[in-house]
Amino acid sequence: MPGQDSLLKALTRTLSGGALEALGVHGVERLEPFTTELPASTLRMDRAWRMPNGDVFHLEFQDRRERTLHRFLEYDARLANQVKAKIRTVVLYHAHVGSAPHELDIGTAVYRVENVFLSELDGDGALDEVEAHLRVGRWEPADRLRLGLALSMRVEDRHQAMARVLDLLPRVPDDEERELVASAVLAFGDRALSEEDRRKLRKELKNVFRLAEELYEDGRREAAEDIAHRLLAEGVPVDVVEKATGLPRERLEQMQSEVH
């Protein structure tokens, strides 16, 4: 099963404008995906999009409480220097995290992020919206987030919420969307799932190994690029890096220009 961070990246892979309102993040109109690689050999953001007004929206996923914001500050400082634009950063915390810093004062500047805690969102309301949409044959990227993460949100009765998820899941119109949502429910809703619940969910995952392999390959490619960044930063020739990582020469030449 793919890890939680990989699944969150997949859940947010293709989001139309306004989809993040399902997580309480308003005013984000996505225009186009933005590179998540920063001009340093070891830095990589989770998600970033260029918005219609030219600003950049930066989304990070955390499964544990971030003690300080220095890492995100470094991301955004490098990104701002690269794009010369304003940056809005949102940190999405998994259900068991209830608090985290949102501000860092470094003396010469004050850095701020917006924290979103899944445990504070209305899971019952999210399921209500998904049910209303499916009733009229509608499905949107925000519904993927609502249904996939509902059990990590605040619900009145977890067993009832689980029953609703199992009822709604087979009605998702697209096979790939259904597999992705079921994978997310398994990964994030583990505390609410009985063995019978897991059995029912696995029935919805007939092709999940294809999805898992896709996410695995994404992870392998990211790891190869991280290695390539470090080698290029040390001055290793492109020919040597190409043989060591298997990455396309065109990609390596682009990375080399970013390093230098």
pLDDT value of position 208:
47
Q: Please state, in angstroms and rounded to a whole number, the distance separating the CA atoms of residues 49 and 35.
A: 8
pLDDT value of position 67:
92
Full DSSP string of 176-197: HHHHHHHHHHHHH-GGG--HHH
CA angle 172, 130, 4 (to 5 degrees): 75
Q: Which of 91, 98, 97, 54 is nearest to 75 (CA)?
A: 91
Return the H-helix or E-strand segment holding 134. helix 123-135
- Residues 201 and 183 sit within 8 Å (Cβ to Cβ): no
Helix (H/G/I), strand (E/B), else coil: 156 = coil
Q: Please state, in angstroms and rounded to a whole number, the distance separating the CA atoms of residues 44 and 245.
A: 18
Q: Which residues pair with 90 in a beta bridge?
A: 59, 114
Q: Give me the chain's average pLDDT, please.
A: 80
Phi, psi for residue 178 in degrees, rounded to 5: -65, -40
Q: Please state, in angstroms and rounded to a whole number, the distance separating the CA atoms of residues 78 and 187.
A: 32
Q: Please state, in angstroms and rounded to a whole number, the distance separating the CA atoms of residues 224 and 72.
A: 23
Phi, psi for residue 134 in degrees, rounded to 5: -65, -30
CATH T-level topology, domain 25-120: Trna Endonuclease; Chain: A, domain 1 (3.40.1350)
CA torsion through residues 51, 54, 60, 66, sign: negative
Gyration radius of the chain over CA positions: 20
Question: What six digits make up the tokens of 11?
Answer: 């859940």
Return the H-helix or E-strand segment holding 226. helix 208-233
- Residues 69 and 113 sit within 8 Å (Cβ to Cβ): yes
Give the residues of the chain that fall short of pLDDT 50.
1-2, 41, 207-209, 216
